[in-house]
Chain A
Amino acid sequence: MSQVHALSDDQVGQELRKMTAFIKQEAEEKAREIQIKADEEFAIEKSKLVRQETDAIDSAYAKKFKQAQMSQQITRSTMANKTRLRVLGARQELLDEIFEAASAKLGEATHDQGRYKDLIKGLILEGFYAMNEPELVIRARQADYDAVREAAGWASAEYKHKTDKDVKATIDAENPVPEGSAGGIIIVGGNGKIDIDNTFEARLTLLKDSALPAMRKALFGENPNRKFFD
C-alpha cells in the first residue's frame, strides 16, 4: 500500500489558503448571482405593478371623461330645447292674442244691416250647396230672425238659378243660436243629424287651424328650416 506522504507545513498552509479562498470566492459568486437576480426581479415586479395599475386608472378615467362629455352634451341640448320652447311660446302667445282681438271684433258685421243680410245670404248658400237637400232648417239668433228670413229667400232664389233645384229653408225658432254669439247661422240637414256651423265664432275657430301657416308667414316671415312644401 502506497503511503500518503505527509505534507510539509508549508504545503498544508498553502492548501488551506487555497481552500479558504475557494470557499470565499464561491460564496461571493453566489452572493453576486443573488444580487443580480434580485435587481432583475425588482425591475420586473415594479414595472408590472405600475403598468397594471396605470392601465386600470386609464380606463377608469376614460370612462369618467366620456361621461362628463355626455352629460355636457345633454346639458347643451336641454338648453337649446328650452330656448326653442321659450321662443315658440312667445309666438303662440302672439297668435292667441290676435285671435282674441279678432274674436272681440266679430260684432262689427252687424253694424251695417244691409251688408249683414248679404253676408247671411252667402252663409246660407254655403250650407245649401254643401247639404244639397230639398229641405233644410236654419238656426239663427233670435234678433236676426227677420233678416235671416229675407236672406234665406234670396239664397233659395240664387240656388234655384244656379242649380235649377228647389230648396225650402225654415227657421227653427225653438233652437236659436245662443245670445252670446256675434252672428251667423247654422244649417241643419240630414233629418236633423248633420249640421254646418256657420256662426262667426265657429268660422273663426276653423281659421285657427287653416289660417295658421299664412299668419305665421305674414308675422314671422318664411321658415328657413322648412324642407317640405307639399
Chain B
Amino acid sequence: MSAQKSAGIQLLLDAEREATKIVQKAREYRTKRVREARDEAKKEIEAYKAQKEAEFKKFEAEHTQGNQAAQEEANREAEERIREIKEAGNKNREQVIKDLLHAVFTPTPEAMAAH
C-alpha cells in the first residue's frame, strides 16, 4: 500500500510541476509581449517621423524654388519699370525743365487784402 501511495503522490507532484511550467511559460510570454509593444511602437514612431520630415523637406524645397522664381520675376519687373521711367524722363524732361524755369521767372505779385 505504501508503494502505491508514494507512486500516487509522485504523479500528483509531477502534475504540479508540469502545471507550474505551463503557467511559467505563459508569464514569460507576457514579459515578451511587453517588450514587443515598446519595440514595435518605436519602429512605427520612427517611420512616422521620417515621413513627416520628408514632407517638410519637400515643402521647403518647393518654396526655395518658388522664392528664386519670385526674385527673378521681381528683378525683371523692377528693370522694366525703371526702363519706363527713363523713357518717360527722356520724353518729357525738356518740357518739365521749361515749366520749372517759367515758374522761377514768373513772379506773381498780388496785392493782399486791405489791412
Pairwise interchain contact A76-B70, C-beta atoms closer than 8 A: yes
Residue of A9, A23, A49 near B12 (CB, 8 A) is A23
Q: Which B residues are CB-close (under 8 A) to A173? A: none
Q: Which B residues are CB-close (under 8 A) to A27? A: 18-20, 22-23
Report B's interface with A, CB cutoff 8 A.
4, 8, 11-12, 14-16, 18-20, 22-23, 25-27, 29-30, 33-34, 36-38, 40-42, 44-45, 48-49, 52, 55-56, 59-60, 63, 66-67, 70-71, 74-75, 77-78, 81-82, 85-86, 88-89, 92-93, 95-97, 99-101, 103-112, 114-115
The complex places the Cα of A140 from the Cα of B97 at a distance, in Å, of 25
Given contacts A42-B37, A129-B111, A207-B103, whether A90 and B86 have CB atoms under 8 Å apart is yes
12 pairs of residues in contact across A and B, judged by CB atoms under 8 Å: A16-B11, A41-B37, A57-B49, A82-B74, A83-B77, A98-B97, A119-B107, A122-B109, A125-B107, A128-B109, A129-B110, A215-B100
A-B contact number at CB 8 A: 203
The complex places the Cα of A207 from the Cα of B100 at a distance, in Å, of 8
Pairwise interchain contact A49-B37, C-beta atoms closer than 8 A: yes
Number of interface residues of A (CB under 8 A): 77
Residue of B16, B30, B55, B56 near A23 (CB, 8 A) is B16
Residue of B23, B45, B48, B78 near A87 (CB, 8 A) is B78
Pairwise interchain contact A65-B97, C-beta atoms closer than 8 A: no
The complex places the Cα of A122 from the Cα of B52 at a distance, in Å, of 80
Pairwise interchain contact B109-A61, C-beta atoms closer than 8 A: no
Closest residue of A by beta carbon distance from B115: A132
Given contacts A9-B4, A27-B18, A101-B97, whether A34 and B26 have CB atoms under 8 Å apart is yes
Query: Shortest beta-carbon distance, A196 to chain B, in Å?
Result: 11
Closest residue of B by beta carbon distance from A184: B104
Residue of B82, B86, B100 near A86 (CB, 8 A) is B82
